[in-house]
Amino acid sequence: MAIPALQKTIKAVVYESEGYYVTECTGISVVTQGSTIEETLRNLQEAVALYLEDEDPAEFGLVPNPSIVVTMEMEPAHTVELPTL
């Protein structure tokens, strides 16, 4: 049986909620927030580092010192109404 390859990245999603930016990692149990996107990303880096501190990243399917890939969910600035046919 083949051993699955370790992941080089941790995936996270940023979205706006109740006046804050919230970030959730999809592969590990890390959730954080901030007032600005910059603060949220700094908090994310710190939270991931603390989560993995004194742990073997391979136990989470990760290489040592993985990168964080962030996707951002946004609402459109405006909506376009299409004419009815």
Q: pLDDT tens across 38-51, in order?
A: 999 999 999 999 99
Count: domains in the chain: 1
Range of the domain at 40: 7-72
Residue 23 sits in a domain whose CATH number is: 3.30.160.620
CB atoms within 10 A of CB 77: 5
Is 46 part of any domain?
Answer: yes
pLDDT at 20 over 90: yes
Is 30 part of any domain?
Answer: yes
Is 81 part of any domain?
Answer: no
Is 83 part of any domain?
Answer: no
79 or 16: which carries more pLDDT confidence? 16
Is 36 part of any domain?
Answer: yes
pLDDT at 60 over 80: yes
Position 21 scores a pLDDT of: 95
Is 78 part of any domain?
Answer: no
The span from the CA of 78 to the CA of 69, in Å, is: 27
Mean pLDDT of 77-83: 69
Position 83 scores a pLDDT of: 75
Position 53 scores a pLDDT of: 94
Is 84 part of any domain?
Answer: no
The span from the CA of 33 to the CA of 18, in Å, is: 11
